[in-house]
């Protein structure tokens, strides 16, 4: 059963993409690591679960770094 969303998906995508934009100038491996680390440290488990659920439905409009980082979320 999927939990109640913590925030609107549009807002979540915006926040995740802003994180990715910050790390975009880094080499890709460091950028992916930075995005994953930031989301792990500063997003609640419910927010991370919402992101994973959103990705499972296609992850529309998410920055590619977010999609790659999601594979490494804790």
> Is residue 12 a contact partner of residue 51, using CB atoms and an 8 Å limit?
yes
Question: What pLDDT is recorded for position 2?
Answer: 55
Which percentage of the chain shows pLDDT scores above 70?
93
Predicted confidence band of residue 69 (pLDDT cuts 50, 70, 90): very high
Residues 9 and 25: their CA atoms lie apart, in Å, by 25
Closest CA to 51 of 18, 15, 24, 23: 15
Predicted confidence band of residue 6 (pLDDT cuts 50, 70, 90): confident
Predicted confidence band of residue 1 (pLDDT cuts 50, 70, 90): very low
Interval 15-49: pLDDT, tens:
999 999 999 999 999 999 999 999 999 999 999 99
């Amino acid at each position: 059963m999927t939990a109640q969303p913590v925030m609107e998906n549009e807002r979540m995508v915006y926040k995740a993409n802003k994180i990715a934009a910050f790390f975009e100038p880094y080499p890709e491996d460091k950028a992916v690591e930075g995005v994953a680390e930031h989301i792990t440290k500063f997003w609640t488990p419910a927010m991370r679960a919402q992101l994973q659920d959103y990705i499972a439905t296609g992850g529309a409009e998410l920055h590619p770094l977010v999609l790659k980082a999601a594979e490494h979320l804790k």
